[in-house]
């Protein structure tokens, strides 16, 4: 068997890596994963990653040369444009543009989520909790009857939000934050994504343990709130 033409350079916890992994799986495209330690970035990684971040997608071309793509949005768009399998973007230009907007909204949630999970005191924790609750409230209004963001069809918006919800699968076992309270459509969407095979396969089995170690290393208030 020939080597996969696509290699996804990954980190075990990165939600942006998960987006790309989900898209690859939804497309049914074979790929290899290679993990890096972002706390001790190897020289080969720094040489090919302009921003020193994951994900990277290494594309082995027919002539044997390798091209490197960086940034999850770029990688997912490339996969949508070049790979067979189910479409992950709507065909209608206006709907597609709106989806791209909600993908950016998901990235803004990840920014708040970083502050939430690394908060070292109750004030910062509660401020980020409120920001998250407010943003998920906006999504509640946007959602239809599901099971996915735009109905029956899985899209890149779903690939973006699945890793966000995964954080709370772990957080809720420690100290439930209640950011989905009173949001039945968001909750149903979260459950539908958690059951999706591509979503489950996007992380290793020890994801939860690794995230808890991350919280401990950052002296997260989330752990203190559970005490």
* Domain edges within the chain: 6-82, 93-226
Instruction: Give the C-alpha separation, 28 to 33, whole Å.
Output: 15
Q: What is the mean pLDDT of residues 17-27?
A: 98
User: What is the pairing mode between strands 56-60 and 66-70?
Assistant: antiparallel
Structure tokens at 119: 């908060």
Q: Please report the pLDDT score of residue 115 as a whole number.
A: 97
pLDDT-derived band at 226 (thresholds 50, 70, 90) equals confident
Q: What is the pLDDT of residues 116-162, one digit of tens each?
A: 999 999 999 999 999 999 999 999 999 999 999 999 999 999 999 99
Edge-to-edge strand list for the sheet holding 56-60: 32-35, 6-10, 56-60, 66-70
114 pLDDT higher than 80: yes
**Top-level class of domain 93-226:** mainly alpha
- Average pLDDT taken over every residue of the chain: 96
pTM for this entry: 0.96
pLDDT per residue as tens digits for the range 30-68: 999 999 999 999 999 999 999 999 999 999 998 989 999
What pLDDT score does 1 carry? 37
Residues labelled as active-site residues = 14
Which numeric CATH code is attached to 6-82? 3.40.30.10
């Amino acid at each position: 068997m020939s080597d996969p033409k696509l290699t996804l350079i990954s980190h075990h916890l990165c939600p942006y890596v998960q987006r790309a992994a989900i898209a690859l799986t939804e497309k049914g495209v074979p790929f290899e994963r290679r993990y890096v330690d972002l706390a001790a970035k190897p020289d080969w990684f720094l040489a090919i990653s302009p921003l020193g971040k994951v994900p990277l997608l290494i594309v082995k071309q027919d002539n044997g040369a390798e091209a490197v793509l960086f940034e999850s949005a770029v990688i997912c768009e490339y996969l949508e444009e070049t790979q067979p399998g189910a479409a992950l973007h709507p065909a209608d230009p206006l709907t597609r543009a709106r989806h791209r907007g909600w993908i950016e909204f998901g990235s803004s949630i990840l920014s708040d989520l970083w502050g939430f999970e690394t908060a070292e005191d109750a004030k910062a924790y509660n401020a980020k909790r409120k920001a998250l609750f407010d943003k998920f409230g906006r999504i509640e209004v946007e959602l239809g009857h599901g099971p996915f963001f735009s109905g029956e069809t899985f899209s890149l918006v779903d690939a973006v939000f699945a890793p966000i919800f995964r954080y709370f699968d772990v957080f809720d076992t420690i100290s439930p934050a209640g950011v989905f309270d009173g949001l039945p459509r968001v909750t149903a969407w979260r459950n539908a994504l958690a059951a999706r095979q591509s979503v489950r396969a996007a992380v290793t089995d020890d994801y939860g343990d690794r995230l808890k170690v991350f919280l401990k290393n950052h002296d997260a208030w989330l752990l203190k709130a559970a005490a």
